[in-house]
Amino acid sequence: MIVGLLLLTAKMANINLIPKEFKRVFLRSVFNTLAIFCHFAGLSFLSVAEAGAGLFTAPIFVLMISWFFFSEKFSLLKLIAVILGTLGVGLLLQPDFKQLNFLLLFPVLAGFFYGLAVVTTKNWCSNESTLCLTTCYYFSFGFIGFIMTTAFHLISPETTYTETAKYFFVGWKPVDFNFLYWLLIQAILNVTAISLIIFAYQKIEASFLSIYEYFFLIFAAFWGWFLWSQTLELLKWIGIFLIIIAGLIISKNKKST
């Protein structure tokens, strides 16, 4: 549905959706897709705020990937931000080291892959049109989703994972009109949200605007409580706070350099 809306927009605006660097755009789309898949996997057994906070570890991974692969400077302030962010993740997920559950890696993996997508967007895809990158991402999302759903349908994972992660490891299921209705609503909301984000980044400095992205965590906590009565313990709120502080330090440091 989203790809259809984007193709219609491209045709009306006469925008070419063919990537200039196909391989790089392909890899960026895969990284973005894996990030959102891991995010949705986390949503299947964590609260909206917890899964969202995992995704917002991305600035930490952007910093580390940029330092390791692109030799960007790594100041003491950035190191403090990484330590704070890592501590925040620990408080948020509170892993039991006696009985490690690999499912807890999903929120952190979401941040890691999203960080990869951000770095590759900046370093590889700066000459591509925004609509081209968005369309390729959603096409990748749909294609990989088709493959994964088919795989889970043919090879059923262990019952433990299907019970814990609920819908994520489930294969194909019959759908009805109500499902398609909400799917259409999601498609419209997705396109609207992404369009607003793109418009904002075109008008406002990215390092300043990134601060406001953290309002997502506040809205995530609110909707989780409003719709599903999800609440968080004090330590988890402290973890989210530390992740926000780490992201703000990195954003502020980028602006100053």
> Structural domain tally of the chain?
1
The single residue listed with the structure tokens 């502020």 is 252
pLDDT digits (tens, 9 = 90+) for 69-111: 767 676 777 778 778 877 877 776 665 555 546 667 888 888 8
Q: Report residue 176's pLDDT band, with 50, 70 and 90 as the boundaries.
A: very high
Which residue range is the domain that position 35 belongs to? 2-256
Quick: pLDDT tens for 10-65. Answer: 888 888 888 989 999 999 899 989 998 888 888 877 777 777 777 777 777 877 78
pTM for the predicted model, two decimal places: 0.75
pLDDT tens per residue across span 195-237: 776 666 556 655 556 566 667 777 777 877 888 787 778 887 8
Percent of the chain with pLDDT over 70: 79
